[in-house]
Amino acid sequence: MLSVLLTTFRAAAAAAAPCEPVAIAAEPAAPESVLAEARARIAEGRRDEARSLLAWLVVHDPREREAALALARLDAWDGCYERAAARYSGVLDENPRDVEARAGLVDVYIWSGAWTAARATIAVGLSLQPDAPELWLRSARLLYWQGERTAAAQAAERALRAAPHDLELRAFREKLFLGQVRLMGRASRYPRGYPSLYTSELQIQQFWHRLELGAAAQLIERAGGGLRKALIDRRYSATLNYYTTLRATVGLTMGVGEPAKSIPRLEARPSLFVQLSARWSLFGDYAYWRYRDFRTAHIAGSGLGYAPRDDLLLELRAWNSWILQRPPESAQVPEVKRFVYALGARSTWRPHPHLGLGLGYYYGPQLDRTPASYQFLELTSHIVTASADWLVARRWGLASAASFERRESAAGVVALIYTGELSSYVRW
């Protein structure tokens, strides 16, 4: 039996080079069952044993296509890209029209960063089979990762025309929207005696080739508590992002506040996002906040993202802030020059292509303020957030979020703040 044969090389497999199959002790009595047994081992997570069985089968029958493809997939999963590419190429040498093998080879090139080779492999495949949805899908993914969103959407549409019922294709195409309008409402409930905060926002977003254009308008109202009448601010902002061919995104957001009684009167935020690999990413930005009075904030943010799986993203964030306060003498408040920091962590999980769930935690000084308060840096917050994003239909979705904040002043006064948010968006 195969299970008996496999026990003879388990110890050797542990010491073997990565992706190097260990020879089995004797030939199986029923070679026709080897492929099924290897697949069962893969399902159980016993890849070394599966690899040895598949390697034996390929040697036993060099034309065993299924075993060669399964072995190539194992090598690719384990990061042995050169081995995987060689095995996929061997299958293509036998049959250049083998779409499954070509799609696997393209995946290997993409995962290993050989994007030029991936494009050439796709081009050859489409010249042989112009309607292959597997190749159009990979072309769309490659274009998307290179920042060519418009061309990526066109390639995904071409794939869908060839395979209209493919769920993977449809989910990817739905992610590639070119424009979006979002309407959001948020309410933050403060303890009794403090004004609560209400925010409504309209956002517009449009992609065009490598450019992303965005605009937003906010209405921010503080009401209740010690305020005699509601305090209303408006914020308007515009964003421009450019997706480069180097897997980096350069962005700039400019905003103005009016009448800016409790929000920055002017803000500017350049940003940079770099996709280091298929799993790792870096993010950095700088924000300049200028208030209508004597306060200025310089905030440098950085982040590290890791995606252990395609449906899971883990992020760490840090903010380093240089705060300047130069009040007039009449305010009887001392000048402040202070460096502060904040930290955060967030995870995003997509259990379904149409559903995203998020959980986060943030700690740091609170820059929120009201005109009557000079406690700009005297408040420290712990914030826990949860969110959900549901694409109800192809072009319409709902998003919600909730947060709990524990805010403490330098004098030890603690305030608990509860926030709820709901938004709806339409895409095209």
pTM here is 0.77
State pLDDT tens for residues 284-337: 999 999 988 777 888 899 999 999 988 999 999 998 888 777 766 666 667 777
Specify the higher pLDDT residue, 373 or 410. 410
Work out the pLDDT band at 6, boundaries 50, 70, 90.
very low
Q: What's the pLDDT at 353?
A: 85
Q: Which of 9-13, 119-123, 318-322 is the most confident on average?
A: 119-123
Q: Where in the chain are all domains bearing CATH 1.25.40.10?
A: 2-165
Half-sphere exposure of 322 (CA within 13 A, CB side): 5
Name, in order, each residue with C-beta under 8 angstroms of 15's C-beta and a sequence gap of 6 or more: none
Name, in order, each residue with C-beta under 8 angstroms of 238's C-beta and a sequence gap of 6 or more: 213, 214, 215, 216, 253, 254, 255
Decide if 271 contacts 250 (C-beta within 8 A).
yes
Work out the pLDDT band at 266, boundaries 50, 70, 90.
very high
Q: What's the pLDDT at 137?
A: 93
Q: Where in the chain are all domains bearing CATH 2.40.160.40?
A: 179-427
Joined tokens for residue 344: 């955060």
Q: Which of 219-233, 247-261, 406-420 is the most confident on average?
A: 247-261
Work out the pLDDT band at 31, boundaries 50, 70, 90.
low
Using CA atoms of 222, 223, 224, 226 in order, give the dihedral in degrees to the nearest 10. Answer: 50
**Fold topology of 179-427:** Porin (2.40.160)
Q: Give the position of tokens 């290997």.
A: 108
Decide if 421 contacts 185 (C-beta within 8 A).
yes
Q: What's the pLDDT at 332?
A: 67
Mean pLDDT of the chain: 86
Instruction: Please name the CATH architecture into which domain 2-165 falls.
Output: Alpha Horseshoe (1.25)
Query: 158-172, 251-265, 385-399: lowest mean pLDDT where?
Result: 158-172
Q: Could you tell me if residue 147 is left (phi over 0), alpha (psi between -120 and 50 degrees) or otherwise beta?
A: left
Using a pLDDT cut of 90, give the percent of the chain over it.
51
Q: What distances in angstroms separate CA 65 from CA 53, 58, 59, 225, one per listed residue?
A: 14, 8, 12, 73
Using a pLDDT cut of 70, give the percent of the chain over it.
88
State pLDDT tens for residues 38-77: 788 788 777 777 788 888 888 777 667 888 888 889 888 8
> How far, in Å, CA of 385 to CA of 360, rounded?
5
Residue 224 has pLDDT above 80, yes or no: yes
> How far, in Å, CA of 354 to CA of 396, rounded?
11
CA 232 to chain centre: 34
State pLDDT tens for residues 346-382: 999 999 989 999 999 999 887 765 554 445 556 889 9
Residue 14 has pLDDT above 60, yes or no: no
Q: What does the angle CA 182 – CA 187 – CA 193 come to, to the nearest 5 degrees?
A: 160
Q: What's the pLDDT at 10?
A: 46
Work out the pLDDT band at 17, boundaries 50, 70, 90.
low
